[in-house]
Amino acid sequence: MTSLLNSQLEFDRDHIWHPYTSATEPLPTQLVTRAEGVCLTLDNNKTLIDGMASWWCAIHGYNHPTLNSAAESQIRDMSHVMFGGLTHTPAIELCKKLISITPNNLQHVFLADSGSISVEVAMKMAIQYWQASNASSKTKMLSLRGGYHGDTFAAMSVCDPETGMHHLFNNSVNKQVFTERPKARFDSKFDPSSLTKLEASFDENHKTLAAIILEPIVQGAGGMWFYHPEYLKRVRELCDHYNVLLIADEIATGFGRTGKMFACEWAEIEPDILCLGKALTGGYLSLAATLTTPKIAHGISQNGGVFMHGPTFMGNPLACAIADASVELLLSSPWETKLLHLEQKMTRLLRPAKDISSVVDVRVLGGIGVIEMSELISVPQAQAFFVEKGVWIRPFGKLIYIMPPYIINDQELSVLCSAMCEYAELIDARKSV
């Protein structure tokens, strides 16, 4: 048994890429054999309470009977057919739901196969719209430092230029326009001077700007930073004033994670283009969507124009059926109360970390809890510690953070938060010796 495991892990290490790793010196991996509810089971039968929801996706937990049955029933009808010239009920029902729960102005849906692709699609929509409107000089994107929008080339071009991968692909990544990370904290009084640079960027660049792309309220993989809704409101006004489209990337924040169904609701704004992904299928399959307004959709389509994108697995019926069931499951649950509860619990449970001297900040919003340390965290060390404690938490940079499945109970949440605080203390203790 052990030797089978060892040979499997050996093969994995020698031949399979994992995210952002070296082929010759990869970080260690755990072999997971099952996932159910909020728990991952490892090959040695150890179970881990999952704090990551598989990178924002598994909002209902794993192996959910409702999603399983949606998948099983769809697979018996058809798991895939091409979307060119064909359509089907799973796509229609899902798109109806997405239109009904997203801001009112969004009426047209493009189904994409991953978050990064939905970002590419959003950028293409913006550029094609201005081209069709005789403003073909508007091709650039304005983006915020600290943002993350995916790993494909166009998506990379709007990621933070430092933590993103621009230095590796310097001449192959399009040059976009960047402005500073929104400084105004979500939970502080709004300081209007935090808009100065943003306003200047619009003023200087609007003639060449097709759109601004941002993650509303929560910058995720670029630093788990929560900023003030007033900033987002002002972005909307600037976009209207300067004729720049607003692309809201809610791939991480969508479907309740910040305490609102979509983070744009914190500022009561409607984007011109919205990207959804991650939790869309409840973590079952890769699926994403780009929604836009009649103005943009009709603009692109005027004079015989067509929108130029069409992936092979567009509108995959299996993914759509599961997504439809997942959204329904969310809507029929008391998700708002639950997220408020998670926020209150995490706020209380993570508070002790504030007293640790190597902790720079502790912040919580909706179902996201973050401890920011003063120094970079060693992922392999942290991973070993957390697995030993029976939790699945994977820090990045200086951040120890969780965004667990919404179905997590108080006891499980408290195990996660204690482990986070303990690890912060351990880092602190190591530093002071």
Ligand X SMILES: *Cc1c(COP(=O)(O)O)cnc(C)c1O
State the catalytic residue, choosing from 140, 278, 389, 398: 278
- Regarding 215 and contact with ligand X (CB under 6 A), the answer is yes
- DSSP symbols for 149-164: --SSHHHHHTS-TTTS
Task: Report the residue from 61, 90, 103, 115 that binds ligand X according to the rule CB under 6 A.
Answer: 115
User: Of 287 and 359, which CB lies nearer to ligand X in the complex structure?
Assistant: 287
Closest to 403 measured CA to CA, from 228, 145, 248, 221: 221
Of 132 and 314, nearer to ligand X (C-beta) is 314
Query: Of residues 50, 249, 272, 324, which has the active-site annotation?
Result: 249
Tokens of 173: 């990544």
> Cβ closer to ligand X: 37 or 254?
254
Minimum Å gap between C-beta 418 and ligand X is 27
Residue among 86, 85, 88 nearest 74 (CA): 88
Please report, as a single letter, which amino acid is at residue 217: I
Binding-site member from 58, 251, 325, 359 for ligand X (CB under 6 A): 251
Contact residue for ligand X among 90, 146, 161, 220 (CB under 6 A): 220
What is the per-residue binding string for ligand X in 403-432, x denoting contact by CB under 6 A? ------------------------------
- The nearest distance, CB 57 to ligand X, in angstroms, is 9
User: CB 286 → ligand X: shortest distance, Å?
Assistant: 6
Q: Which is nearer to ligand X, 19 or 85 (CB)?
A: 19
Q: Which residues contact 313 (CB under 8 A, 6 or more apart)?
A: 80, 113, 319
Write down the least CB distance from residue 101 to ligand X, Å.
18
33 contacts: CB under 8 Å, gap ≥ 6? 41, 42, 43
Nearest residue to the partner ligand X, using Cβ: 115
For the bound state, the minimum distance from the C-beta of residue 150 to ligand X, rounded and expressed in Å, comes to 4
Give the position of tokens 């924002």.
56
Per CB under 6 A, 277 contacts ligand X: yes
**In the complex, what is the shortest distance from the CB of residue 112 to ligand X, in angstroms, rounded to a whole number?**
9
Residue with smaller CB distance to ligand X, 93 or 151: 151
The residue within the footprint of ligand X, chosen from 50, 160, 230, 249 (CB under 6 A), is 249
284 in active site: no
- Tokens 């943002």 appear where? 147
Question: ∠ CA 291-294-300 to the nearest 5 degrees?
Answer: 90
Binding residues with ligand X: total (CB under 6 A) = 15
d(Cα 72, Cα 93) in Å, to the nearest integer?
17
Instruction: Report the site for ligand X in 139-168 (rule: CB under 6 A).
Output: 148-150
CB neighbours of 412 closer than 8 A, spacing ≥ 6? 38, 49, 404
Residues belonging to the chain: 433
Residue with tokens 């093969």: 11
Interacting residues of 399 by C-beta distance below 8 A, sequence separation 6+: 223, 224, 370, 371, 372, 373, 377
Q: Determine whether 187 is an active site residue.
A: no
Closer residue to ligand X (CB): 251 or 322: 251
User: Residue 432 Cβ, how far from ligand X at the closest point, in Å?
Assistant: 35
Given the residues 148, 227, 231, 423, the one annotated as active site = 148
List the one residue from 39, 49, 67, 114 that touches ligand X (CB under 6 A): 114
Does 119 participate in binding ligand X (rule CB under 6 A)?
yes
By CB under 6 A, the residues from 44 to 103 that bind ligand X are none
240 annotated active-site: no
Q: Over the range 254-283, which residues count as b (16 or more CB within 10 Å of their CB) and which as e?
A: bbbbbbbbbbbbbbebbbbbbbbbbbbbbb
**Burial class (CB within 10 angstroms; exposed 0-12, middle 13-18, buried 19+) of 205:** middle
**398 is known as an active-site residue:** no
Q: Using the rule CB under 6 A, which residue among 40, 58, 244, 252 binds ligand X?
A: 252
Crossing angle for the helix pair 410-432 and 335-350, to the nearest 10 degrees: 30
Reading the block at residue 239, the tokens are: 């976009």
Active site members: 20, 148, 249, 278
Binding site for ligand X (CB under 6 A): 114-116, 119, 148-150, 215, 220-221, 249, 251-252, 277-278
